[in-house]
Amino acid sequence: MDSKKKYTEIRDQFTNYLVEKKLRRTEERYAILDCIFQITGHFDMCMLHQRLEELGFHVSRATVYNTLDVLEDCGLILRHQFMTQAVQYELRFLAETHAHLVCSKCGTVRELKEGELKDRIRALKMGRFSPEYHALYVYGMCGKCKKRNLRK
Ligand SMILES: [Zn+2]
Ligand SMILES: [Zn+2]
């Protein structure tokens, strides 16, 4: 799917959610969504706030927080909590296409792209369970830590 089409779909989903929940459809909320759509990886609250400032959108941190909550409830973004790092967010449709390799020693997170991940997970037999979305975390030791460990 091309990104323009995907973006329209995401925006519509957001609008429907706001209407349904009787939340205000403010310019700020859409500006935040626009900004997130352009970040194609993980981001945290500070990074997002900074980006918005750079784009000339002066929104309060409270508004950014609030909008992230709304986007999470609406199912557009996922919240990751990787060990010691600040909470990270990611567009859900993107998060579903890779595994997160988390080093339990240094906390580094690497994304392993796997084009068929989504289809493979959907192909699992889950009985009466109806899956909505998924996030995959694989914990272990990264190459650097492994090397450092061997040297000891
Ligand atoms: Zn990710
Ligand atoms: Zn490591």
Quote the CA–CA distance of 125 and 105 in Å, as a whole number. Answer: 34
In 3D, which of 130, 129, 139 has the Cα closest to residue 99?
A: 139
pLDDT the model gives residue 1: 63
The whole model's pTM is what? 0.88
Which segments of the chain have a pLDDT < 50? Answer: none
Ligand that comes closest to the CA of residue 106: 2
pLDDT the model gives residue 85: 78
Quote the CA–CA distance of 118 and 130 in Å, as a whole number. Answer: 14
Quote the CA–CA distance of 113 and 45 in Å, as a whole number. Answer: 24
Q: All domains of the chain, ordered by start, with CATH? A: 3-90 (1.10.10.10), 96-151 (3.30.1490.190)
* Spacing, Cα 135 to ligand 2 middle (Å): 21
Ligand that comes closest to the CA of residue 145: 2
CA distances from 52 to 87, 140, 152 (A): 18, 35, 45
* Spacing, Cα 83 to ligand 2 middle (Å): 12
Q: How many CA atoms lie within 13 A of 52 on its CB side?
A: 26
* Spacing, Cα 49 to ligand 2 middle (Å): 28
